[in-house]
Structure 1
Amino acid sequence: MTHHGIPPFSKGHGTGNDFVLVADADGAAPLSAETVRSLADRRFGVGGDGVIRAVRAGSTGDEVLDAAPTGTWAMDYWNADGSLSEMCGNGVRVFVRFLTESGLVDLPDGAAIDIATRDGLKRVVRRGDLLSVDIGPFELGGTRLVATDGLEVDRPGLDVATGNPHVVVALASEAELAGLDLHRAPALEPVAEHGANVEFVVPGAIADGVGAIRMRVHERGVGETLSCGTGAVAAALATRHWSGDAADRWIVDVPGGRLEVDIDERGHAWLTGPAEIVFRGETLSPAP
């Protein structure tokens, strides 16, 4: 039996950024904020940083997602607090892994699939055991002051738009990064109108055109997560900007693992990393 019409689910993650995924090809079981919060709850539900519904464009009930070409798989992505999100770089890779392991699509090595998101179509390419997603063009913005627990002095953060709004803050050392307490959302001045993910970054060395950084992130609507795909891209782009565009490939180490960010000749950012489905199950009706 299922709970509140929720079909059988899968649990997946990309470098520890975890999601509950359900297949609803015909749009018969739309999500609600209450259902999402219930599923994402780590003590009373399945647990996850977000919930993703796989549905065909034209059947989602979402004007933006339904604008995609007919038959395209759409990623109906919700944050753990029940709010909608434009995009999720780890989520879209896990979404494609879910589609392939569920037998809904076939994606041979080197092949690509376009996925509808609230930030438009995203192309995902299989590269062996890894998946790469074209995050698309990006935009560097202005500076905000960022205050958070564990930092004695407010730090400047750079606005970076990668489908989601981000603010990236450079730190001086790994000790400073480890000393952050990200249980509460960092305070931004000026305040971001629609909220923002905040990434804290320690830049490393650049060698042979490849840069390295370490990162922690507080995601809006979620809290601190082990990884954030669009956040890793934002962190790499900000560090690239600060370095004078010294590298077009970046290795981003997050608490949940390692991601790669590449800037192609069109100025698009690509995110590459693992995506795994770790278990499947079903929600049970509550006891009478």
Structure 2
Amino acid sequence: MALIEFTKGHGTGNDFVLVSDPEGRLDVSPDQIRYLCDRHFGIGGDGFIRAIRSSAHPEGDDRAEWFMDYWNADGTPAEMCGNGVRVYVHFLIAEGLISVDPGDSIAIATRAGIKDVLVDANEYTVDLGGWRLAEERLVTVPGLDVARPGLGIDLGNPHVVCALAHDGELEALELTSAPRLDPVPASGANVEFVVPREPLVTDGIAEVRMRVHERGVGETLSCGTGTAAAALAFRHWGGPGMPDDWRVAVPGGTLLVSMFPVGDIEHVSLSGPAELVYRGSIDLP
């Protein structure tokens, strides 16, 4: 057995097991990741993040010193995590691996490309990059009497967003198992269920409430890229006149999503807190 040091962190309740491995010397298998993320036998988390330099990882990018090696709780690699990348930068700062001041931005390499993270006094803002509409799918989930249409949103990782009529429908959902999607996506998808607030727009900011089933994890208290997908879907449905700033309430808190042009491409950003909860060590089986 190998003893490793870890840190537990979260962003609006979306929690992660983080380890520092700058030179890529740590070999953690998918089975060991499942063990670490198990809430009964391990540490517990929605995902596993290894802090490794881009130069030490085969998927690294020389445009960024650090690569976020992110894995879902079921031991499968994932392209990106909007909450995870904010917590990752907070971890790099706490570990003394980077030195930044409020107002600085740092580039992080991910499997979905480079993500720029702005460090503020109390929160982090990540530029998730461009996005695109994807295939529509029917969504079937216990708690809803009929299948509902879902809009596909690609943010480097796949999402399907389903609009519901009221809070009662949202609260009735049973998300312990993955919603059924038709047609079935080849690599799965995160599925967001969203209800608009009444009124939808106040002082130029729209607000929605969301629950999510994350691919490879299950229902989580928050999903960063999922909140962006939810806001993008509702703006798409609302048409011209919808705002570019959205407040998305999730079970773990509230995140701010904003859309803005970068050249000929529209980008979307995600702002919210990141916290480190505790440190420890554990034997890997």
TM-score normalised by the chain length of structure 2: 0.95
Give the aligned residue type for 2:82. Answer: G
Deviations 1:103-159 (A, max 9, x none): 111121110000010001100001221000000000012311000010001000000
Pick from 209, 231, 235 the counterpart of residue 226 of structure 2. 231
The residue aligned with 2:260 is 264
Check if 1:42 corresponds to 2:35.
no
The secondary structure found in structure 2 opposite 1:284 is: strand
**Is 1:220–2:219 an aligned residue pair?**
no
Alignment of 1:130-279 (within 5 A): 130-204=123-197, 205-245=200-240, 246-266=242-262, 267-279=266-278
Given that 1:163 and 1:230 are in contact with CA atoms closer than 8 Å, whether structure 2 keeps it comes out as no
SS of equivalent residue, structure 1 residue 55: strand
Q: Letter of the 1:261 partner, please give it.
A: V
1:80 and 1:206 mapped to 2: Cα distance? Answer: 36
Moved more, 24-33 or 219-228: 24-33
Q: C-alpha displacement at 1:271, in angstroms?
A: 0.3
The structure 1 segments of at least 4 consecutive aligned residues displaced by more than 4 Å after TM superposition are none
**Paired positions, count:** 279
Aligned equivalents of 1:177 and 1:285: distance in 2?
39
Native 8 Å contact 1:75 1:115 kept in 2 = yes
Q: Is the CA contact 1:74–1:117 (under 8 Å) kept in the aligned structure 2? A: yes
2:64–2:108 contact (8 Å) kept in structure 1: no
Question: What per-residue deviation string (whole Å, max 9, x for no partner) do you get for residues 16-37 of structure 1?
Answer: 0000000000000032101100
1:23 aligns with 2:24: no
- Conserved 8 A contact 1:168-1:200: yes
The one-letter amino acid of 1:253's match is A
Deviation per residue, 1:151-184 (Å, 9 max, x gap):
0010000000011100000000011100101001
Alpha-carbon distance in structure 1 between the residues aligned to 2:64 and 2:126: 20
CA contact (8 A) 1:125 1:133 kept: yes
Assess if the C-alpha contact under 8 Å between 2:64 and 2:109 holds in 1: no
d(CA) in 2 for partners of 1:140 and 1:22? Answer: 34
RMSD, aligned α-carbons: 1.2
Unaligned runs of 5+ in 2: none
Aligned partner letter, 1:140: L
Gaps of 5+ in 1: none
In the alignment, what sits opposite 1:11?
8
Indicate the SS of the match to 2:186. coil
The residue identity in structure 1 corresponding to 2:223 is C
Q: CA deviation at 1:285?
A: 6.6
**Could you tell me the TM-score, scaled by structure 1's length?**
0.94
SS in 2 for 1:252: strand
The answer to whether structure 1 residue 100 and structure 2 residue 96 are counterparts is no
SS at match of 1:191: coil
Aligned counterpart in structure 2 of residue 121 of structure 1, from 104, 107, 114: 114
1 or 2, which has the higher strand percentage? 2
1:268 aligned counterpart, secondary structure = strand
Task: Point out the more displaced range, 151-160 or 6-15.
Answer: 6-15
Deviation of the 1:70 alpha carbon:
6.7
CA distance in 1, matches of 2:189, 2:213: 9
